[in-house]
Amino acid sequence: MRVILTAAASTFFFATVLFSLASSFSTTAFLQPHRQLVPPPAYDTWHWQEAEGNVCANGSPTGFAYNLHPNATELVFYIAGGGGCWDTHTCFTKPISANLDGYNLTMFTSRTKGFLDNELLLFARDAKRKNPFAKANYIFVPYCTGDFHAGDNVITYQGAPAPIHHKGLNNMRNILKFASNAMPDAQDVWVSGTSAGCYGATLNYVPAKKAFPDARVHLIGDSCEAPPGWLNTKPSWNLYQPSQADCPKCQKDEFNSLLPAYSLHNPSSRFASISFKGETVLPGYMQTTAEELDKVIDGYFTNVTHTPTNQAKTFMTAGRGHCVFFKHDPLSATNVSLSSWFATMRDPNSFFTSV
């Protein structure tokens, strides 16, 4: 896999390329005598990056966005949510997944950038927001493949007018390779996501760990739980699951087994599951009732909290809802702010607790 750097974008990434006269980069341009970090176009602002091989559900090219801070040793990924689709009805007739017809710079600028700058706590640079990750590097991963960022299939559903590219896994791996080549000395990598992006962050934890083998790789998941066996209910996605070699305690097809199992295999990293007390969106996607999913969430949070490493914990907000990260600085049911809880989580010497 080769990632193309556009002429207007990421010169911050390591100078392993030579400029071509056409302001694009050819195969011969990727000479790597050594790595040298060079300044980005501007710090603390967003830049869009196309990535060769990354596609949306309709096959159109896509990329990701990055925001760099001087001398940062931490990297935070935020993986976007937006539903999912698995047949002609859900992908075409009445689509229930975001951006199936493409996602590009224009959409990032008009639909997403303001949310990242002004709402999402994890990416807040403003000191008033009390974001403990304010001095980290940021990467935003858009969602446009309908497969929870972890599918690996191209399929034409029966009666569909065109194929669907469920290539979320390939997209994520390309971005991880790009980021690890750019920031090989990152000490802490935080993989986070909301809703479909939460499932994507969780399913892509092992690929992230492999991309950054020398870093502590942490996981923060907002609003993703699943009934037993759910990972086996979408065969058209060809969904990635970690192998037993990579995650000895992970149970096949059991999404809720993954985060505690990752913690057992990576005891120096921290893991967080975040949710409302009751869900308003997931029951429909999980094909279960709100009451049944309430039981799933309660059981899952209990299991996470009691992971023997004591490095996996939960943050629960009172009431029913979906996407805790969409709130400015939400409080837990025990009146702890998310910003202060993140500060505790980020400090490896702190006593990390569920709230």
Question: pLDDT of 63-78, one tens digit each?
Answer: 999 999 999 999 999 9
Strand partners, 303: none
Residues with Cβ < 8 Å from 270, sequence gap 6 or more? 218, 219, 311, 312, 313, 345, 348, 352
pLDDT per position as a tens digit, 132-172:
999 999 999 999 999 999 999 999 999 999 999 999 999 99
Residue 3, pLDDT > 80, answer no
How long a stretch of residues is the chain?
355
pLDDT at 39: 63
Position 41 scores a pLDDT of: 83
pLDDT value at position 38? 53
Yes or no: say if 9 and 47 are a contact pair by the CB < 8 Å rule. Answer: yes
Q: Does CATH number 3.10.20 belong to domain 43-346? A: no
Q: How far apart are CA 305 and CA 295, in angstroms?
A: 15
pLDDT tens digit sequence for 256-309: 999 999 999 999 999 999 999 999 999 999 999 999 999 999 999 999 999 999
Stated as kind and residue range, the H or E segment containing 51 is strand 47-55
Q: Indicate yes or no: pTM above 0.95.
A: no
DSSP-derived 3-state class of residue 192: strand
* pLDDT at residue 239 is higher than 70: yes
In sequence order, the 6+-apart residues with CB closer than 8 A to the CB of 70 are 43
Every domain of the chain and the residues it spans: 43-346
The answer to whether the CB of 107 falls within 8 A of the CB of 229 is no
What number is the average pLDDT over the span 84-104? 98
Report whether pLDDT(325) > 60: yes
pLDDT at 153: 99
